[in-house]
């Protein structure tokens, strides 16, 4: 049984304005009183009027002053925030929230960087971004936990992505442990009936405890209208957690069909039905966005607020419940971790978790390219990404691509699979360029009308094989870019330009806007980043379907379980490049 005392930094003896929390067994406790703690929270990501990217409500001082008084009026003790800018200063809002007794549950990914459920990978760029967010928030005493993935696997075909999220949990926990930071890291699912039970087990199983989720969240919208605990199947929702060894909670709830919402599930969540089973939950959501889930209408930087009908209902329902659980001194559970689910046609995963990305190896790799992806290439552009995919599908028939391949069922991961999109793609087009004897015009990607840099004297890739060690615990690099390099490093010297052959100019080059389906466009509106699913590919990710989710989204399609998630059919990528196409750019 694991016990986690949540001190943001290792400095025992500080006078806390907000009580630390203890995660013990399947429950959360107030470290000062020993009483069981329940999250009475709300999802918080006001978007209206915000022009920054990433969006960050925790730097809007006007908005924080405006909303914290409403939080106190509502009687909540926590908010869940999906997207922030790690480079900004959050002292004002975080300290004001602390003084008001409000904890913050924070997603590590954003719509700009995330493990994609389709074409998943875990690389040096993502790890660096996660470290930066941890460092930006480690000093705040009211950070209750980090979420490493939100609804990433949301279908059978996207179950391979869970392996990469699990690797991210392992590595960010290892980083925090090395830096004496003790904040829980968890995972959140979308209550998908086909895969939720193996997912729940998967994040609580294996030989490496660091890869376990410290808590598990469920985004659920199965209770609609005037329903009941059993009528809504909330009893079935909770059943898989009967002997779970870490805390679990409803990280989103609040079906909005019909509206206004009666929200009578609150009496079950905090009443006799569930108070001994869960650690509370977070209503979706505070601000009214296009999906129509909000309880207030607010705009970024504006002190005005309009209360909507659900506001008074939420306040009244919270006031009607006062859960009293067990005291920590009386809680001595005999809980065991889960058994890992077996691979099957419905679970495309084995037990082996992807290796930790190593920035030294990837830096070495960048010096070995004879042909490089151009700086104009934009992995966030889905048209360019598909063009690159198609090109690599073709050339991987003639050159060895095994160094970037991943197979989540067999548990095999190429030695450079933890490097960035730019690095992996440059490796493969370099191998093709070398195979073509570096003839003029052979350093290109068919369909991208860019000039591709070349290098006549690249270093030998053999030198990268001698690199060992672990860079997970190292400090993040402030200016690490999408190509895996910082402004103080260089990949290749003696580079020259190699214009793309004219035959490629008619393809999807120089495209700054991408073509997306309506459902894909809607994904950026709500909580956490999201995108799609694909069938498993026989090439680069053989067993991996992958796509992803995490960040901030707002739209709910009629068929979608969660108001944040995108339809799994909205954008599909197939073929050899599942391991190459960017894992951290979400189609919005």
Q: What is the mean pLDDT of the chain?
A: 85
CA–CA distance, 15 with 11 (Å, rounded to integer): 10
Alpha helices in 290-337 (DSSP H): 309-319
Candidate from 66-80, 298-312, 528-542 with smallest mean pLDDT:
528-542
Look at residue 404 and tell me if it is in a domain: no
103-117, 319-333, 493-507, 555-569: range with lowest mean pLDDT: 555-569
In-domain check, residue 270: yes
235 or 571, higher pLDDT: 235
CB 128 within 8 A of CB 358: no
Tokens of residue 322, six digits: 């006062």
How far the first Cα of the chain sits from its last, in Å, is 41
State how far the Cα of 164 lies from the Cα of 349, in Å rounded to an integer: 11
How far is residue 93 from each of residues 30, 65, 68, 244, 294, measured CA to CA in Å?
22, 8, 9, 34, 21
For residue 429, is it within any domain? Answer: no
pLDDT of residue 477: 96
CA-wise closest residue to 425 among 580, 204, 585, 249: 580
pLDDT number for residue 495: 59
The secondary structure element, H or E, covering residue 388 is helix 382-395
The answer on pLDDT for 554 being more than 50 is no
Q: What integer pLDDT is reported at residue 2 of this predicted model?
A: 58
Q: Residue 344: pLDDT above 90?
A: yes
For the record, the structure tokens of 381 come out as 């552009």
Place of tokens 């598909």: 386
Split at pLDDT 50, 70, 90, the class of 577 is very low
pLDDT confidence of residue 536? 33
Work out the pLDDT band at 487, boundaries 50, 70, 90: low
Annotation says 118 is catalytic: no
Q: Which of 83, 118, 141, 151 is catalytic?
A: 151
Question: Is residue 507 over pLDDT 50?
Answer: no
Phi, psi of 331, deg, nearest 5: -105, 105
Q: What is the rounded CA–CA span in Å between residue 293 and residue 273?
A: 25
432 by DSSP, 3-state: which? Answer: helix
- Predicted confidence at residue 588, as pLDDT, reads 27
Q: What local confidence, expressed as pLDDT, does residue 488 receive?
A: 64
Q: Would you say residue 207 lies in a domain?
A: yes
Active site residue 197: no
For residue 556, what pLDDT is reported? 40
210's tokens: 């660091």
- Give me the mean pLDDT over the 475-493 stretch: 77
- Nearest partner of 81 among 59, 61, 101, 65, judged by Cα: 59
Q: What is the value of pTM for the model shown?
A: 0.85
Rounded to the nearest 10 degrees, what angle do helices 382-395 and 421-435 cross at? 40
Q: Which residues, including other chains, have CB under 8 Å from residue 567's CB and lie 6 or more apart?
A: 517, 519, 520, 532, 557, 559, 560
Catalytic residue among 118, 252, 265, 285: 252
Q: How confident is the model at residue 486 (pLDDT cuts 50, 70, 90)?
A: confident
Instruction: Identify which of 550, 407, 421 has the alpha carbon closest to the alpha carbon of residue 117.
Output: 550
Higher pLDDT, 262 or 488: 262
pLDDT higher at 481 or 41: 41
Give the per-residue pLDDT at 118: 86
Q: Which domain holds residue 242?
A: 3-330
45 vs 375, more confident: 45
> According to the model, what pLDDT value does residue 496 have?
63
Buried-state track 299-315, b at ≥16 Cβ within 10 A, e below 16 = bbeeeebeebebbebbb
3-state secondary structure 496-555: EEEECCHHHCCCCCCCCCCCCCHHHHHHHHECCCECCCCCCCCCCCCCCCEECECCCECC
Q: What is the percentage of the chain residues whose pLDDT exceeds 90?
A: 74
Look at residue 190 in the predicted model and tell me its pLDDT: 97
What local confidence, expressed as pLDDT, does residue 284 receive? Answer: 99
Q: What's the pLDDT at 489?
A: 59
Confidence check: pLDDT of 10 > 70? no
Between CA 525 and CA 387 the distance in angstroms is 27
Of 138, 156, 148, which is closest to residue 211 (Cα–Cα)?
A: 148
- On the question of pLDDT at 257 being above 70, the answer is yes
The token pair at 294 is 């909000």
The mean pLDDT of 175-195, rounded to a whole number, is: 98
Asked if the structure places residue 342 within a domain, the reply is no
Structure-block tokens of residue 453: 């840099």
Instruction: Taking residues 468-475, report their average pLDDT.
Output: 94
Q: Please count the other Cβ atoms lying within 10 Å of the Cβ belonging to residue 376.
A: 13
548: left (phi over 0), alpha (psi -120 to 50) or beta: beta
567 falls in which pLDDT band (50, 70, 90)?
A: very low
User: Which pair of structure tokens corresponds to residue 332?
Assistant: 């001595």
* Residues 547-570: b if buried by 16+ CB within 10 A, e if exposed: bbbbbbbbbbbeebbbbbbbbbeb
Q: How confident is the model at residue 455 (pLDDT cuts 50, 70, 90)?
A: very high
Instruction: Give the confidence band of 6 by pLDDT, cuts at 50, 70, 90.
Output: low
**Residue 136 belongs to a domain:** yes
- What is the structure's pLDDT at 434? 98
Question: What DSSP assignment string belongs to 72-123?
Answer: HHHT--EEEE----TTS--HHHHHHHHHTT-EEEEES-BTTB---EES----
Cβ contacts of residue 38 below 8 Å, gap of 6+?
A: 28, 270, 275, 279, 280, 323, 325
Q: Is 315 inside a domain boundary?
A: yes
527 closest CA partner among 20, 181, 57: 57
Is residue 50 domain-resident? yes
Bridge-based pairing state of the strands 27-30 and 21-24: antiparallel
Mean pLDDT of the 568-581 span: 37
- H and E: helices and strands count for the chain: 12, 19
Beta-bridge partner residues of 530: 549
| Beta strands, E only, 17-94 | 21-24, 27-30, 39-43, 78-81
328: helix, coil or strand? helix
**Cβ neighbours, 10 Å, residue 132:** 18
- Residue 56, pLDDT score: 97
User: Quick check: 31 pLDDT over 80?
Assistant: yes
Asked if the model's pLDDT at residue 560 lies above 50, the reply is no
Least confident of 46-50, 306-310, 340-344, 534-538: 534-538
Judged by DSSP in three states, 130 sits in helix
Count of domains forming the chain: 1
At 30, which CATH number? 3.20.20.80
Q: Which of 229, 117, 30 is nearest to 535 (CA)?
A: 117
Least confident of 88-97, 111-120, 235-244, 404-413: 111-120
- Residues above pLDDT 70, as percent of the chain: 80
Quote the DSSP letter at residue 455.
Answer: E
The confidence score (pLDDT) of residue 521 equals: 31
C-alpha distances in angstroms, 237 versus 185, 191, 223, 248, 577?
22, 8, 10, 11, 36
**How crowded is residue 100: how many other Cβ atoms within 10 Å of its Cβ?**
17
């Amino acid at each position: 049984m694991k016990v986690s005392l949540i001190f943001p930094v290792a400095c025992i003896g500080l006078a806390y304005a907000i009580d630390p929390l203890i995660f013990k067994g399947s429950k959360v406790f107030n470290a000062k009183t020993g009483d069981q703690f329940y999250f009475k929270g709300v999802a918080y990501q006001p978007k209206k009027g915000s022009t920054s990217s990433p969006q960050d409500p925790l730097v809007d001082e006007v908005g924080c002053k405006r909303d914290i008084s409403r939080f106190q009026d509502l009687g909540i003790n926590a908010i869940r925030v999906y997207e922030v800018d790690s480079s900004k200063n959050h002292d004002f809002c975080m300290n004001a929230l602390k003084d008001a007794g409000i904890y913050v549950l924070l997603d590590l990914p954003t719509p700009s960087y995330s493990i994609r459920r389709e074409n998943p990978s875990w690389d040096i760029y993502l790890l660096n971004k996660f470290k930066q967010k941890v460092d930006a928030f480690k000093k705040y005493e009211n950070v209750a936990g980090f979420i490493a993935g939100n609804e990433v696997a949301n279908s059978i075909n996207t179950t391979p992505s869970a392996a990469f999220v699990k690797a991210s949990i392992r590595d960010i926990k290892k980083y925090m442990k090395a830096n004496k930071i003790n904040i829980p890291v968890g995972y959140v699912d979308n209550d998908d009936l086909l895969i939720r039970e193996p997912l729940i087990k998967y994040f609580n199983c294996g030989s490496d405890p660091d890869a376990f989720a410290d808590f598990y969240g469920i985004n659920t919208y199965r209770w609609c209208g005037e329903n009941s605990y059993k009528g809504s199947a909330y009893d079935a929702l909770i059943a898989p957690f009967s002997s779970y060894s870490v805390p679990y909670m409803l990280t989103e709830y609040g079906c909005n069909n019909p509206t206004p919402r009666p929200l009578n599930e609150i009496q079950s969540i905090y009443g006799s039905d569930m108070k001994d089973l869960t650690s509370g939950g977070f209503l979706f959501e505070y601000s009214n966005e296009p999906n129509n889930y909000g309880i207030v209408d607010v705009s970024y930087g504006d002190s005005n607020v309009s209360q909507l009908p659900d506001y008074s209902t939420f306040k009244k329902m919270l006031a009607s419940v006062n859960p009293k659980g067990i005291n920590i001194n009386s809680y001595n559970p005999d809980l065991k971790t889960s058994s890992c689910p077996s691979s099957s046609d419905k679970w495309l995963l084995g037990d082996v978790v992807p290796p930790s990305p190593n920035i030294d190896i990837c830096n070495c790799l960048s010096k070995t390219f004879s042909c490089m992806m151009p700086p104009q290439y934009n992995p966030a552009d889905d048209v360019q990404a598909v063009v690159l995919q198609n090109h690599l599908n073709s050339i991987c028939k003639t050159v060895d691509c095994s160094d970037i391949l991943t197979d989540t069922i067999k548990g095999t991961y190429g030695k450079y699979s933890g490097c960035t999109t730019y690095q992996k793609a440059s490796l493969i087009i370099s191998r093709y360029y070398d195979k073509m004897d570096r003839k003029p015009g052979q350093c290109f990607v068919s369909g991208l009308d860019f000039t591709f840099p070349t290098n006549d004297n690249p270093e030998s890739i053999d030198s990268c094989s001698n690199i060992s060690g672990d860079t997970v615990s190292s400090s993040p690099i402030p200016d690490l870019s999408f190509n895996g390099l910082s402004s103080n490093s260089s990949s290749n010297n003696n580079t020259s330009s190699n214009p793309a052959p004219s035959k490629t100019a008619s393809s999807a080059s120089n495209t700054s806007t991408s073509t997306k389906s309506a459902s894909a466009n809607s994904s950026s509106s709500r909580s956490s980043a999201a995108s799609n699913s694909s069938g498993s590919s026989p090439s680069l990710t053989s067993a991996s379907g992958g796509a992803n989710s995490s960040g901030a989204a707002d739209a709910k399609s009629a068929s979608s379980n969660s108001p944040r998630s995108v339809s799994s059919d909205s954008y599909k990528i197939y073929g050899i490049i599942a391991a190459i196409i960017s894992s951290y750019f979400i189609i919005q």
